[in-house]
Amino acid sequence: MVTPELSQAGRLRSVPLITLHLTERCNSRCVSCDYWRHGRDDLTLESVSRLLPSLHELGTRAVLISGGEPLLHAQWAQIAQLLREQRLQLWLLTSGLSLAKHAARAAELFQSITVSLDGTDRRMYAAIRGLDAFDKVCAGIRAARRSGSLLSARVTVQRSNYNALPAFVTLARELGVQQVSFLAADVRNSHAFGRTNDINAGIALQASDLPRFEETLRRMEQEHAEAFRSGFIAESPAKLHRLLEYYRALCGLGPFPAVRCNAPEFSAVLEATGRVSPCFFIAGPSAPVASDFEAALNSEAMLTLRRDIRAGRRPECATCVCSLWRDVSHVSRLSLGDHRP
């Protein structure tokens, strides 16, 4: 195992966590995302095979399999199998639309599965995800549970669902998942969701929503105090309060919550186009990784990007909804349980 360490020049010598976007294609129709409109590219089994020596050299321990919708990739199971054979921990991030069909195989291959569940009923789900598929996703979660998967539900909090936060916790319990987490809808960064136009203003909370959202958060603390205590809700009440601060800032009513993040120092993203990026929100060099992933991670362009991120020169960081900080001297022990979405 390589000790996590940055050389003086900022080269990454250890990357415990890699995200693979298996495909840009998606079977959801989310209002906040354009991948489903124009996404075409897939990673190939061969391109993932070529990564393996670098992952070994970099001491990679965990791989987040994402997309687009990864279960649309014709070879998702072969790719996951290949990675499992390297003793990597696998975490699947899915819309859940085809989870019922793939539940048994997914349970064999992934140590952890996170399903995006943005509605508590058919109407709310359809308004956000663009499909009348609430029942299908719930059926997928139940099937995965029956197959023995460790599951979490992830809710992107936005204008159509912010009032339902306590109901999400109740629904998550009914569905039998191990945890539910909440994050704000990213409306500032077009790269993360392949957006080609400005995001629809109907997603972010408006000033008139803020008092009601504050009240909803208060109600969450009262009604679900035990869920906070036990960790069933992944965030603390204080962390959830940052969602309110974020939407307040978008309305011009306060500063964005302070961000502390060193994700690019211990993780990286390989996109379906073959491009490597320092994180989900900041695009890396446009040229695809040729064969040597480690060399691509430490190219001049990536060194410059990470230097700019560390120095606070990237505007994406100031408004980021998913920052992550880990003690770099301990990240070699990173496991999926530490890296909740």
Does residue 244 touch ligand SF4 according to CB under 6 A? no
Q: Using the rule CB under 6 A, which residue among 4, 16, 67, 284 binds ligand SF4?
A: 67
Angstrom distance (rounded) from CA 43 to CA 65: 11
Q: Which residues, 156 to 215, sit near ligand SF4 by CB under 6 A?
A: 193
Cα–Cα nearest to 322, from 205, 238, 253, 242: 242
Give whichever of 193 and 228 is closer to ligand SF4, judged by the CB atom. 193
Residue 325 CB, nearest approach to ligand SF4 (Å): 9
Does residue 95 touch ligand SF4 according to CB under 6 A? yes
Q: Is the peptide bond before 96 cis (omega within 30 degrees of 0)?
A: no
Residues near 224 by beta carbon (within 8 Å), at least 6 away in sequence: 166, 169, 232, 233
Does residue 119 touch ligand SF4 according to CB under 6 A? no
Angstrom distance (rounded) from CA 99 to CA 232: 22
Does residue 126 touch ligand SF4 according to CB under 6 A? no
Does residue 261 touch ligand SF4 according to CB under 6 A? yes
Cβ count within 10 A of residue 145? 18
Q: Using the rule CB under 6 A, which residue among 15, 22, 26, 137 binds ligand SF4?
A: 26
Give whichever of 34 and 292 is closer to ligand SF4, judged by the CB atom. 34
Does residue 259 touch ligand SF4 according to CB under 6 A? yes
Cβ count within 10 A of residue 161? 22
176 half-sphere exposure, CB direction, 13 A CA radius: 13
Residue 169 CB, nearest approach to ligand SF4 (Å): 22
Give whichever of 33 and 175 is closer to ligand SF4, judged by the CB atom. 33
E strands along 88-178, which residues?
89-94, 112-116, 151-157
Q: Using the rule CB under 6 A, which residue among 294, 316, 334, 339 binds ligand SF4?
A: 316
Choose the binding region for ligand SF4 from 180-188, 212-220, 246-254, 318-326 (rule: CB under 6 A). Answer: 318-326
Choose the binding region for ligand SF4 from 33-41, 56-64, 159-167, 169-177 (rule: CB under 6 A). Answer: 33-41
Choose the binding region for ligand SF4 from 56-64, 217-225, 234-242, 313-321 (rule: CB under 6 A). Answer: 313-321
Token pair belonging to 149: 């998967």
How many residues in the shown chain lie near ligand SF4 by CB under 6 A?
A: 26
Does residue 92 touch ligand SF4 according to CB under 6 A? no
Angstrom distance (rounded) from CA 91 to CA 94: 10
Cβ count within 10 A of residue 164? 19
Residues near 251 by beta carbon (within 8 Å), at least 6 away in sequence: 205, 206, 207, 210
Catalog residues that contact ligand SF4 under the rule CB under 6 A: 26, 28, 30, 33, 35-36, 67-69, 95, 116, 193, 259, 261, 263-264, 279, 281-282, 309, 314, 316-317, 320, 322-323
